[in-house]
Amino acid sequence: MKFSRIDKGDGTVLVIEGVLDALTAPEIRPTIDALVEEKRKSIVVDLSSLRLIDSSGVGVIVSLFKRCKAFGGVVRVMDVQNQPLAIFKLLRLDQVFGP
Amino acid sequence: MIRAILPGRLEYRDLAIRLVASACKLVPNSGDDFGNEVVSAFSEALNNVVIHGGASPEEEVEIEIDLGDDRLTLRLKDYGMSFDLRTVSPPDLDALPESGMGAFIIMSFMDHVSYEAGTPNTLSMTKVAGKGLQ
């Protein structure tokens, strides 16, 4: 997995590429914690290059969403495709994270 | 039958998933959804064995794949603690759970799931091509 964050004003774009699963989720947790601690108002999670996600990876994104919502922040997820989209649809997250 | 024996460690997860993804493409009339759903279910099953099964990292897991004309059956064998995922209650999706979704994903995406505790424990999962999510 590779990930990067791009900050602009109060907003952040978090790009996650490759595989977000039980093995790689711990790598991105500190970045998620930092985004919450900094109270970023608007976060877009770009999953256009995410190849595979499992329930551990989903847990990371849901955690970001819930923690940001608690202080009034907004998290949107964009360009989910293929296997990650199948998981998001099953868990109805496409409705939660949609535009 | 396709058979693979791997160390029961997360480092081998991607290799196992690539094997299953490739096998899915050999089932006639299976589309992208078929592969995505089988891979998702297998991924969760492997997590259950490796992370939650309590087996030593040195113990092996065995993957068997049967390819049929219209279906694929996966058998995952392990020597850890037995755990019948069919007994797990489905998550409350409205509450946006952050964990406890693995069994639900498996049961939702596969058409038939059975489990036999023993030495080894054997989880069998079958998906039929063209049936789609129920």
Per-residue model confidence as pLDDT tens digits over B13-33: 999 999 999 999 999 988 889
Tokens (6 digits) for B2 = 């396709």
Cβ atoms of A5 and A35 within 8 Å: the answer is: yes
- Is residue B134 one of the residues assigned to a domain? no
| R_g (Cα) of chain A, nearest Å | 12
The CATH number of whichever domain residue B33 belongs to comes to 3.30.565.10
Q: Which domain holds residue A17?
A: 2-97
ipTM of the complex, rounded to two decimals: 0.93
Total domains in chain A come to: 1
Range in A41-45, B48-52, B123-127 with the lowest mean pLDDT: B48-52
Cβ separation of A66 and B96 shorter than 8 Å? yes
Average of per-residue pLDDT values in chain A: 95
pLDDT score at B59: 85
pLDDT score at A22: 92
Nearest to A55 among B36, B50, B101 (CB): B101
The CATH number of whichever domain residue A72 belongs to comes to 3.30.750.24
Beta partners for B112?
B126
Distance, in angstroms, between B69 CA and closest chain A CA?
23
- Is residue B88 one of the residues assigned to a domain? yes
Measured between alpha carbons, how far is residue B111 from residues B6, B22, B23, B48, B134 in Å?
Answer: 26, 19, 17, 19, 9
Rounded Cα distance between A14 and A47, Å, is 9
Q: Does B88 touch chain A (CB under 8 A)?
A: no
- Is residue B28 one of the residues assigned to a domain? yes
pLDDT score at B55: 65
pLDDT score at A14: 98
* Angle at CA of residue A52, ends B105 and A30, nearest 5°: 100
Given pLDDT bands bounded at 50, 70 and 90, which one contains residue B54? Answer: low
Tokens (6 digits) for B40 = 């998702």
pTM, whole model, 2 decimals?
0.93
The low-confidence residues of chain A, meaning pLDDT below 70, are 99
pLDDT score at B132: 64
pLDDT score at B83: 85
Q: Which domain holds residue B12?
A: 2-128
DSSP class of B90? P
Q: Which residues contact B110 (CB under 8 A, 6 or more apart)?
A: B37, B38, B41, B125, B126, B127
Q: Which residues contact A86 (CB under 8 A, 6 or more apart)?
A: B33, B36, B37, B40, B109
Whether residue B53 has pLDDT greater than 80: no
The tens digit of pLDDT for each residue in B62-120 reads: 999 999 999 999 999 999 888 888 889 999 999 999 999 999 999 999 999 999 999 99
- Best probe of the A interface among B13, B43, B99, B107, by most A CBs < 10 A, is B43
Tallying the residues shown for chain A, one arrives at: 99
Residue A1 CB-density burial (10 A; 0-12 exposed, 13-18 middle, 19+ buried): middle
pLDDT score at B84: 86
Tallying the residues shown for chain B, one arrives at: 134
Q: Which residues contact A38 (CB under 8 A, 6 or more apart)?
A: none
